[in-house]
Chain A
Amino acid sequence: MPKELWKGNEAIAEAAVRAGLEAYFGYPITPQTEILEYLSRRMPELGRTFVQAESELGAINMVYGAACTGVRVMSSSSSPGMSLMMEGISYIAGTEVPAVLVNVMRGGPGLGNIAPAQGDYNQAVHGGGHGDYQPIVLAPASVQEAIDLTALSFDLAEKYRAICMVILDGCVGQMMEPAEMPEMKPVHRENWDWNTDAKMGKRERRVLSSIYIEPAEEEKMNLRVLNRWRTIEAKEVRYKEYFLDDAEIVVVGFGTAGRIALSAVREARTEGIKVGLLRPITVSPFPYEVIDQLTARADAFLVTEMNSGQMLEDVRLAVKGRVPVEFYGRLGGVVPFPDEILNEIHRMAKSKLSLDVHPRDAWLERMAHA
């Protein structure tokens, strides 16, 4: 397919359609509304289901219902809307049915603003809804990645009967880039052994529920999901490396923060600084192992995020205090410019770094003096 100029949000919508999306349920919220608008045209044109729900609560439960029948289903929202969906997300996880959700993150907490942000990392990666479960979370940094990862998310969700979330920010959602769409896959209903699409004279009845009244039964379910998660951790970690072969300083950033860091890293390289970039693509499962390996040969890490250092804690878990980890973040919808990250690289290349201070404390200290 030739490249076309695609806007991130619309590209996600079309990619989902081409991956065989059979039903979409959503509610308008900036900066993701183009996904809803696009699908309100596209889905009926293909004879597929589109419903603008009364709320995100309604939308996620429509997703839940459709997911139980075994079809490819999706919703999308932005931060405050995702919070409303958390109830349904927990139920979907507890029922072990596949669903794809897209969160185009904005500044928060609360109503916040509509500017690009990454403050929902913890909500997405470390739960959000109640109970024991872990969603697969993919973090595209470009329109092409948004397309590829949206298509992939349906396969992953089905393969592991799990929630697959695509998290991006308003920057990727609103941006246009040349990108290539995958071929159109026909809508295809698998013969699952779990879906509730009615007996139709062919089988015994099925029930899908997240209820396990007996704690011992719930524990079995928890362990089943956990074991599935371990497989996901072993097989589905994805990331992108830039200039890491001889890197002494490793910058780690996902999504937009990651690609902004690339500009800084490239600039620093022209100055002869041995710096590279690790951009996690799956933030859940997180690439702990590759960071562990990098720790063996790098002098220091710089984590950069558009939040107060949420992924930072996962990087520190992998580094295990062996080398210094530094942090630079912008919050509330403020997008960093490359020179801010370049300044951090300069500082790290020149000064002796401490293992003892928490990187967030040190960053706040620097901010206070800036």
Chain B
Amino acid sequence: MQKEIIISGFGGQGVLFAGQVIAYAAMDSGKQVTWIPSYGPEMRGGTANCTVVIADHEIGSPLVKNPPLVIALNLPSYNKYETMMQTGGTLVVNQSMIDRGAKRADINTIFIPANEIAEQIGDRKLTNMVTVGALLAALPELALETIEAALKAHLPARHQHLLPKNYEALRRGFESAKEQMSVAV
């Protein structure tokens, strides 16, 4: 088993942390994992992305050309990765930040109004966790509970009080994606 995930968005949208949460969950469930960010001037604002690879065996390339799984948190990321995705892949799009529908029919595009959901929960910063939850609907190798456990284990002490809201964000994203996927099928 090997799965490659790219998470992309504006700096400040929690792109890198979302990837790390997935990486922690993969590690804690005994899998091999790599997490690699875009680095340098890009991290000083502007777009940011990270690539997470999860596997049962020793991971070769930590980078992927045609990802099967993508979270696009803004329009530039949506535009960029929609064209690069593997056929049959799943693209989670933050619907709150885009103004167009899907161009490709050979991938599953899941539209999640992540900003709105996060705001309903009470914290705009949870946008990333909503989309991570949505991605999990297409990543059965990682159970929702594993991500929750990873958050609990690795969130700094000063942020631990935010755990319930993070759990809620994950679940709302997950359910929203499941609904769309069942309709699509």
Give the contact stretch, choosing among A13-21, A175-183, A210-218.
A175-183
Given A30-B39, A176-B20, A178-B27, are A337 and B32 neighbors across the interface (CB < 8 Å)? no
Which residues 307-364 in A have Cβ within 8 Å of B in the complex?
Answer: 335, 337-339
Using C-beta atoms within 8 Å of the partner chain, give the interface range for chain A: 20 to 34
Minimum distance in angstroms from A111 CB to a CB of chain B:
13
Give the contact stretch, choosing among A57-65, A255-263, A294-302.
A255-263
Give the residues in chain B near A266, CB-CB below 8 Å.
57, 60
- B63 contacts A by Cβ under 8 Å: yes
Given A5-B24, A176-B35, are A262 and B64 neighbors across the interface (CB < 8 Å)? no
- Determine the residue in chain A with the shortest Cβ distance to B58: A262
- A225 contacts B by Cβ under 8 Å: no
Given A5-B20, A5-B23, are A171 and B36 neighbors across the interface (CB < 8 Å)? yes
Measured in the bound complex, the distance between the Cα atoms of B62 and A217 in whole Å is 50
- A11 contacts B by Cβ under 8 Å: no
Contact A175 B23 (CB under 8 A): no
Contact A177 B63 (CB under 8 A): no
Q: Which of B20, B27, B60 contacts A260 (CB 8 A)?
A: B60
Measured in the bound complex, the distance between the Cα atoms of B59 and A338 in whole Å is 12
- Determine the residue in chain B with the shortest Cβ distance to A259: B60
Given A114-B40, A174-B36, are A260 and B61 neighbors across the interface (CB < 8 Å)? yes
Q: Which of B57, B59, B64, B154 contacts A337 (CB 8 A)?
A: B64
Minimum distance in angstroms from A267 CB to a CB of chain B:
9
- B15 contacts A by Cβ under 8 Å: no
Give the residue among A5, A31, A115, A335 with the most B Cβ atoms within 10 A: A5
Q: Which of A3, A261, A265 contacts B27 (CB 8 A)?
A: A3
Q: Which of A3, A31, A171, A262 contacts B40 (CB 8 A)?
A: A31
Which residues 258-295 in A have Cβ within 8 Å of B in the complex?
Answer: 259-266
Minimum distance in angstroms from A171 CB to a CB of chain B:
7
Q: Is the interface of B mostly helix, strand, loop or mixed?
A: mixed
Q: How many A-B residue pairs have CB under 8 A?
A: 66
Given A3-B27, A5-B23, A178-B32, are A337 and B61 neighbors across the interface (CB < 8 Å)? yes
Measured in the bound complex, the distance between the Cα atoms of B39 and A335 in whole Å is 14
Given A31-B39, A114-B39, are A171 and B62 neighbors across the interface (CB < 8 Å)? yes
Contact A261 B65 (CB under 8 A): no
- B115 contacts A by Cβ under 8 Å: no
- Determine the residue in chain B with the shortest Cβ distance to A260: B61
- Determine the residue in chain A with the shortest Cβ distance to B19: A176
Which residues 23-74 in B have Cβ within 8 Å of A in the complex?
Answer: 23-24, 27, 32-37, 39-41, 57-65
Minimum distance in angstroms from A302 CB to a CB of chain B:
15
- A170 contacts B by Cβ under 8 Å: yes
- Determine the residue in chain A with the shortest Cβ distance to B26: A178
- Determine the residue in chain A with the shortest Cβ distance to B24: A5
Q: Which of B33, B37, B61 contacts A177 (CB 8 A)?
A: B33
- Determine the residue in chain A with the shortest Cβ distance to B50: A176
Minimum distance in angstroms from B51 CB to a CB of chain A:
9
Besides A114-B40, A260-B63, A339-B65, 11 other A-B contacts (C-beta < 8 A): A5-B33, A31-B39, A174-B36, A174-B37, A175-B36, A177-B59, A259-B62, A260-B61, A262-B60, A337-B65, A338-B65
> Chain B residues in contact with chain A, CB under 8 A?
20, 23-24, 27, 32-37, 39-41, 57-65, 154
The 9 closest A-B pairs by CB, nearest first: A263-B60, A262-B60, A176-B35, A337-B65, A178-B27, A260-B61, A263-B61, A114-B40, A175-B36
13 A–B contacts from the bound complex (CB under 8 Å)? A5-B24, A5-B154, A30-B40, A171-B62, A256-B62, A259-B59, A260-B60, A261-B60, A262-B60, A262-B61, A264-B60, A266-B60, A337-B61
